[in-house]
């Protein structure tokens, strides 16, 4: 708890900070954990942080003879940041996975020209009027799959013998109400130490929120007005399977986690 303790700046009954706001005989624990405990505030800019990005990127582009075109990409990435001092009073800069890093991302785009109209399997010899009705139709779709964002644990307390790996809940047990296992943590707010020196990382690559899967589709009709002029009528549908995608941090503080 953030209680009062004897001030180390009082030597032989004399305060080294006499006349200052911190010149009393006692100081709070939180003040003594500051980088410069003799000061209540200090101004200045430092540029010691850094960030870097590593990834494996694979792409595929295939055009088939029957009017089908596929274009896919896969990215396996990790974006690392080392920009913030842990708890604000530590001199070391914590290295964590960036909060916007999904880990893995896959996209697949497809366009299929329906086999109707001139030059197609059916109706290849159709007249201009019939070709105007049957030809020029296309269907397309975009599939996007992405991993969840890293969760920042914050001030959670592990129970004796537990590790952060124990917080990973098997996929078969995950629900929108509970995505993580709460058993490894001390959920009693009265045991929370607001100003303890934190030893664990605030974020883990293996502890992530829900990812998302999104499928969009479209249907279009092309009309040939002139040799170099075309008109396209297009209908689009977003999230055609009405799949619910959850996101955002779900582990803010000990008081709200699991409620």
Residue corresponding to tokens 């001390």: 186
Reduced to 3 states, what is the DSSP secondary structure of residue 189? helix
The band of 187, judged by pLDDT with boundaries at 50, 70 and 90, is: confident
The band of 251, judged by pLDDT with boundaries at 50, 70 and 90, is: very low
State the average pLDDT over residues 156-165. Answer: 87
Lowest mean pLDDT among 124-133, 157-166, 174-183, 249-258: 249-258
- What pLDDT digit, counting tens, does each position of 53-63 carry? 999 999 999 99
Burial of residue 33, with CB atoms counted within 10 A of its CB: 0-12 exposed, 13-18 middle, 19 or more buried? middle
Dihedral angle of Cα 237, 238, 241, 246, to the nearest 10 degrees = -170
Reduced to 3 states, what is the DSSP secondary structure of residue 32? helix
- The two tokens of residue 239 are 């999230």
Residue 88 has pLDDT above 90, yes or no: no
Residue corresponding to tokens 């896959």: 106
The band of 44, judged by pLDDT with boundaries at 50, 70 and 90, is: low
| CB-based contact 223:182 (threshold 8 Å) | no
Residue 197 has pLDDT above 90, yes or no: no
Name the region of 128 (left: φ>0; alpha: ψ -120 to 50; beta: rest): alpha
142 bridge partner residues: 109, 216
Dihedral angle of Cα 144, 148, 182, 258, to the nearest 10 degrees = -80
Residue 29 belongs to what H/E stretch? helix 29-32
Reduced to 3 states, what is the DSSP secondary structure of residue 165? helix
Query: For position 203, what pLDDT does the model report?
Result: 81
Residue 151 has pLDDT above 70, yes or no: yes
Query: For position 202, what pLDDT does the model report?
Result: 79
H helices of 115-191, in order, are 128-134
State the average pLDDT over residues 180-207. Answer: 77
- The two tokens of residue 69 are 């075109």
Lowest mean pLDDT among 28-32, 194-198, 231-235: 194-198
Looking only at the bridges linking them, the beta strands covering 93-97 and 137-146 are unpaired
User: Percentage of residues in the chain with pLDDT exceeding 90?
Assistant: 25
- Phi, psi dihedral angles at 33 (to 5 degrees): -85, -5
Residue 250 has pLDDT above 50, yes or no: no
Q: Report the Cα 41 to chain-centroid distance in Å.
A: 33
| CB-based contact 204:180 (threshold 8 Å) | no
Q: Report the C-alpha gap between 244 and 241 in whole angstroms.
A: 9
State the average pLDDT over residues 106-134. Answer: 80
- DSSP assignment of 102-119, as one string? -SEEEEEEEEEE-SBSTT
221 bridge partner residues: 137, 233
State the average pLDDT over residues 236-248. Answer: 85
pTM: predicted TM-score of the whole model, two decimal places: 0.69
Q: Which of 105-114, 184-193, 246-255 has the highest mean pLDDT?
A: 105-114
């Amino acid at each position: 708890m953030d209680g009062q303790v004897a001030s180390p700046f009082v030597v032989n009954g004399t305060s080294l900070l006499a006349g200052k706001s911190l010149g009393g005989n006692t100081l709070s624990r939180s003040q003594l954990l500051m980088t410069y405990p003799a000061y209540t505030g200090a101004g200045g800019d430092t540029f010691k942080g850094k960030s870097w990005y590593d990834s494996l990127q694979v792409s595929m582009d295939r055009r088939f003879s029957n009017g089908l075109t596929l274009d896919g990409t896969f990215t396996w990435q990790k974006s690392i940041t080392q920009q913030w001092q842990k708890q604000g009073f530590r001199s070391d800069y914590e290295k964590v996975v960036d909060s916007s890093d999904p880990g893995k991302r896959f996209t697949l785009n497809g366009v299929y020209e329906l086999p109707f109209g001139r030059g197609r399997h059916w109706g290849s010899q159709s007249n201009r009027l019939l070709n105007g009705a049957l030809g020029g139709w296309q269907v397309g779709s975009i599939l996007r799959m992405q991993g969840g964002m890293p969760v920042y644990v914050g001030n959670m307390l592990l129970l004796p013998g537990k590790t952060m790996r124990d917080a990973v809940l098997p996929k078969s047990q995950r629900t929108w109400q509970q995505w993580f296992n709460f058993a490894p943590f001390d959920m009693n707010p009265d045991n929370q130490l607001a100003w303890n020196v934190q030893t664990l990382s605030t974020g883990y690559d293996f502890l992530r929120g829900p990812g998302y899967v999104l499928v969009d589709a479209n249907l279009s009709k092309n009309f040939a007005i002139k040799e170099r002029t075309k008109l396209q009528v297009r209908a689009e549908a977003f999230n055609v399977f009405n799949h619910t995608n959850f996101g955002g941090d779900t582990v803010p503080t000990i008081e709200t986690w699991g409620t």
